[in-house]
A and B are shown apart, each in its own frame.
Chain A
Amino acid sequence: MSYKRSSINRPPTPDVDKDRENQEPTLQEIINIKMIETGEKERLKELLREKLIECGWRDEMKALCRAYTRKKGKNNVTVDDLVHVITPKGRASIPDSVKAELLQRIRSFLASTAT
C-alpha cells in the first residue's frame, strides 16, 4: 500500500502487546469493558449516530460512497473498498463540536464511575 495516511492506518486504540496478554488489562481496556457493562457505550454510540445525522455528516458520507460506487461500477465495489476509501475522509470531516460533546460525555461518565 503506497497510499499511507496516518488516519487510515491508525487503529482506534493501540494494539495490546502480545507478551502482555497474561498481564493485567490496560486502563483503556478497563474503561472499555466498564462502558460496555454499564450500557454507556451503546448510549454513546446512539448519541454519536444522532449527532452525525443531524449535522449532515452521514448524508455526506452516503454521497461519497455513492459517487465512488458510480465511478467504479456497482459490481466492482466491496464493503472493504468503501471502508478503505471513505474512512480517512470520514474521520477528517467530523465536526469538532461533535467530538467535544462526546469527549465531555466520556469525561463525565468516568467521573461518575470513579467515585
Chain B
Amino acid sequence: MSSKINHHQKINGQNFPQPCPHLADFRARHGSKPFRAIQECLRVKPPGGRAAIRRDPSEVPRCGACGDASRPRLYACMACAAVSCHAPPHSSHVAMHATSTCNPPGHEIAVDVDRAELFCCACRDQVYDCDFDAAVVLAHTTSIIQSSKPENLRKRRRIDYRPWSPDLRERALMVSNASPIDSSSATNGDLPRGLRGLNNLGNTCFMNSVLQALFHTPPLRNYFLSDRHNRYYCQSKNGVKMCLACDMDAMFSAVFSGDRTPYSPAKFLHSWWQHAANLASYEQQDAHEFFISMLDGIHEKVEKDQRKPRNQGNGDCCIAHRVFSGILRSDVMCMACGFTSTTYDPCVDFSLDLEPNQGGSTKTASTKSNHSCNGEADSMNSSQNYGTSTLMGCLDRFTRAERLGSDQKFFCQQCQVRQESLKQMSIRKLPLVSCFHIKRFEHSSVRKMSRKVDRYLQFPFSLDMAPYLSSSILRGRFGNRIFPFDGAESDALNEPSSEFELFAVVTHTGKLDAGHYVTYLRLSNQWYKCDDAWITQVNESIVRAAQGYMMFYVQKMFYYRASERQVTS
C-alpha cells in the first residue's frame, strides 16, 4: 500500500507530487488507519456543500492554545486530534504543536477543519494522500463512485499506428477495380476536392447546409471514401430498399468526383422522406431536426441489419454514432439527505441554451476567464466585449449545478419522497465530432408562440472541452483530491485529447418561419461559404460575425491543417 503512493501519480489528468517525508513517515508509523478513521468526523453540510471535520455535528472547533474559534485556518492534528490555529507570520500554534518537545515526533500532519485538506506543518504546505481523499469523496456520496466502478476496470488497449501502402497485389486490384479520377478535373480551380454546390430542391437549404457539413466531417468522409459502406455491395446483399447510408455513399462519390457543377441530392431526399414521413414536404424544416433524423435513419438501418445489442455511446455502433455520439452524465442530488443518483445518457449533439441577455453584467467576464485554455477568444474580448455570449459561456451554463425548485421536485430513492434537488450535467465521454446546436428557436408556453433569438454568439476556432468533462466537474465539486473521479483513469488512456477544432458552421438568417441556411466550411484553414449551389471563398472575419446555429468541432487529431492539400493534389 505504501509503495503505491511513492510513484508520481497521475490522476484526473493532473500530476500529484510525491508525499513529503513527514507524510511518508506518518504513513509508515500509522498506516492508512487514521485516514479512514477520520471518515466518522467528516460532515458535508448542507448536502452538496463542502466537507468539514467535526467530531460531532455541533462542535465549534477552537484553537487549543489561544481558544480562538474564528481563525480562518484551524487544523486538527492527525496524530492526537488537537486543534490549533495557523496564522503565519503572526502565530502558528499548529507549528508549535508539531515541534513541541512535549510531543513525540509525528505530529506534523494536520487536517484543515473547514476544508478537509491535509497540511504538513513542517513543510508548511498542503499534502495529498489517496486514502484520505477517498474518505472525503466517500463522505460526499457513496452512490456516485460505485455506480461507475465496473466501467473503470475495463481498459482498452491501444493499437499502434502503422502506415499502410498498397503492395503489388493490392495495387493491381485497385487499378483493375477502380476508375481513377481524372486529375485534370481536380486541378480545375483552386478549390479543394469535395467542394460542390448542392441544388435547392424546393426549400431544402436546411438539408443542403447539414449535408455540406457532413461531407467534410473528417471521420465520416474517410469512412465513405474508403468504401466502408459500399452501395453496390449493400444492395446486392440486402436487396434494393431504402438505405440512407447507401445514398450517403452515392453522394460522397458524386461530391468528391471532381465535378464542380452543382449536384442534386434528390435520391437522398426521397429516401429521407421515406424515413421521416412526417417531415416529407416542400416546407422549410429545421436543420437540426434534419440532422438528428438522418443520423437516426443511418443508425436504424444498421440496427436492423446486424441484430446485435448495441451500446450507442460506446462507439461500437453504426458510423453515425461512432462519429457523433458521446455520453452525458447527469447527477441529481437530493437537498435533504445528499443522496445522489447518477445516470448516463448517450447523445449525438449538445443542445445549448443561449445565455440570457446580460447587457454588461460582470458574469460573462468571470466565466470567460475561467478557461484560459480556450485562449483564442479569451484574450480577444475579456475587456472589450462585456456581455457578449460565447460558446464557452453556454457550455458553462450547460454544466452548471442547477437547483430544481419546489415546482419540479425529484423523487429521492433514499428519502422515498419527492425532494428539492440539485442537478448537474457533465460530459462523460466526448464524441469524435461534437455538434453544438444553439437553441435559437424559442417556444414560449406563456404567450403560446415561438420566436427566433437573433443574438450574436461568439465561438472559438479551437475549443478545449476539458472543463466540461465529468472528471473536471466532479473535481470542482469535491476539491483537488487524489481520487479517480468517474473513471478518469481509464479515460486518460482512451481519450487522446479534449481539444477540438472547428470545421463547419451552419448559420441561419431570417425569421422563424422563413429564413435561409448557409454553411461555412473550413478546409486547410481556409473558409468557404456553401450557399446551396454557390460556393465561394470567404474571409474568416465573415465567419466570426455569422449567426451560428450549429457548430461542428472535430477532435484535433482528426483535423488536417496543411497536410490535406498534399493528399488531394
A22 to chain B, nearest CB (A): 10
Q: How many residues of B contact A (CB 8 A)?
A: 28
B366 CB-CB contact with A under 8 Å: yes
Q: A11-B90, A84-B89 are in contact. Are A28 and B365 (CB under 8 A)?
A: no
Chain A: CB-nearest residue to B61 = A36
Task: Identify the stretch in B69-77, B246-254, B510-518 within 8 Å (CB) of chain A at 4 or more residues.
Answer: B69-77
Chain A residue at smallest Cβ distance from B119? A79
- With A54-B362, A55-B362, A55-B366 as known contacts, state yes or no: A21 contacts B89, CB within 8 Å: no
- Interchain CA distance A15-B69 in the complex, whole Å: 10
Cβ contacts under 8 Å, A15 to chain B: 66, 68
Cβ–Cβ contact A42 & B69, under 8 A: no
Segment touching A, from B122-130, B164-172, B437-445: B122-130
Q: Is B189 an interface residue (CB 8 A)?
A: no
Q: Smallest CB-CB separation from B52: which chain A residue?
A: A42
- CB-defined interface of A29-42 with B at 8 Å, one 1/0 digit per residue? 10011001101001
Interface check A59, CB cutoff 8 A:
yes
B538 within 8 A of A: no
| A112 CB-CB contact with B under 8 Å | no
Q: How far is the CB of A32 from chain B (nearest CB, A)?
A: 5
Asked whether, in the complex, the Cβ of B69 is within 8 Å of the Cβ of A32, the reply is: yes
Do A1 and B67 form a contact, CB below 8 Å, given A37-B58, A80-B124?
no
Contacts of A21 in B (CB 8 A): 67
Nearest B residue (CB) for A60: B369
A100 contacts the other chain (CB 8 A): no
Q: B238 in the interface, Cβ–Cβ < 8 Å?
A: no
Contact with A along B479-501 (1 / 0, CB 8 A): 00000000000000000000000
User: With contacts A11-B87, A53-B366, A84-B89 known, is A42 near B67, CB below 8 A?
Assistant: no
Q: Is the interface of A mostly helix, strand, loop or mixed?
A: helix
Q: Does B60 contact A (CB under 8 A)?
A: yes
The answer to whether B359 has its CB under 8 Å from any CB of chain A is: no
Chain A's closest residue to B89 (CB) is A1
Residue B180 is within 8 A (CB to CB) of chain A in the complex: no
Query: 0/1 per residue, B67-108, Cβ < 8 Å to A?
Result: 111111100000000000001111000000000000000000
CB pair B369–A56 under 8 Å, yes or no, is yes
For B73, what are the chain A residues with a Cβ–Cβ distance below 8 Å?
83
Instruction: Say if the beta carbon of A114 comes within 8 Å of chain B.
Output: no
Residue B375 at the A interface, CB < 8 A? no
Q: Are A56 and B362 in contact (CB under 8 A)?
A: yes
Is A113 on the interface with B (CB-CB < 8 A)?
A: no
List the B side residues contacting A53 at CB < 8 Å. Answer: 366
* Contact yes or no, B46 A42, CB < 8 A: yes
Please give me the residue from chain B that is nearest to A58 by CB atom: B366
Q: Are A46 and B49 in contact (CB under 8 A)?
A: yes
| Partner pick for B370 among A16, A55, A59, CB 8 A cutoff | A59
Q: Do A16 and B125 contact each other (CB < 8 Å), given the known contacts A11-B90, A54-B363, A56-B369?
A: no
Nearest Cβ distance between residue A8 and chain B, in whole angstroms? 8
| Min CB–CB distance A78 → chain B (angstroms) | 4
Query: Contacts of A1 on B, CB cut-off 8 Å?
Result: 89
Which residues on B sit within 8 Å (CB–CB) of A16?
66-68
Query: With an 8 A cutoff between CB atoms, is B45 at the interface?
Result: yes
The distance from the CB of A49 to the nearest CB of chain B, in whole angstroms, is 9
By the criterion CB–CB under 8 Å, are B366 and A59 in contact?
yes
A15 CA to B123 CA in the complex, in Å?
26
Q: Roughly how many angstroms separate A29 CA and B71 CA in the complex, as a whole number?
A: 11
A12 near B: Cβ within 8 Å? yes
Chain B residue numbers with a CB within 8 Å of A80 are 88, 124-125
- Complexed CA–CA distance, A32 and B507 (Å): 56
Q: CA separation between A25 and B365, bound complex, in Å?
A: 44
Q: What residues of chain A lie closer than 8 Å to B119, measured between beta carbons?
A: 79
Whether B366 lies near A42 (C-beta < 8 A) is: no
Inter-chain contacts of A18 with B (CB < 8 A):
66
Q: Enumerate chain A residues within 8 angstroms of B370, measured Cβ to Cβ.
A: 59
Closest Cβ of chain B: how far from A67's Cβ, in Å?
A: 12
A42 and B70 contact, CB distance less than 8 A? no
Cβ B70 vs Cβ A32 within 8 A: yes
Asked if B72 contacts A12 (CB within 8 A), the reply is yes
Chain B residues lying within 8 Å of A58, measured Cβ to Cβ, are 366
> Provided the pairs A56-B369, A79-B125 are in contact, do residues A42 and B363 lie with their beta carbons within 8 angstroms?
no
Docked-complex contact A9 and B125, CB < 8 angstroms: no
The distance in angstroms between the C-alpha atoms of A18 and B72, with both chains bound, is 20
Q: Which of B70, B88, B89, B124 is close to A13, meaning CB atoms less than 8 Å apart?
A: B70
When A and B form their complex, which 6 residue pairs have the shortest distance between CB atoms, in order from nearest?
A: A78-B125, A80-B124, A56-B366, A59-B369, A79-B126, A78-B124
14 CB-based A-B contacts, threshold 8 Å: A9-B89, A11-B71, A12-B71, A12-B72, A16-B66, A18-B66, A36-B60, A36-B69, A42-B49, A54-B363, A59-B366, A78-B124, A80-B125, A84-B89
B contacts, CB < 8 Å to A:
45-46, 49, 58, 60, 66-73, 87-90, 119, 123-126, 362-363, 365-366, 369-370
Given contacts A9-B90, A18-B66, A32-B70, 16 further A-B contacts (CB under 8 A): A8-B89, A11-B71, A12-B71, A16-B66, A32-B69, A33-B69, A37-B60, A54-B362, A54-B363, A55-B366, A56-B365, A59-B366, A59-B369, A78-B126, A80-B124, A80-B125
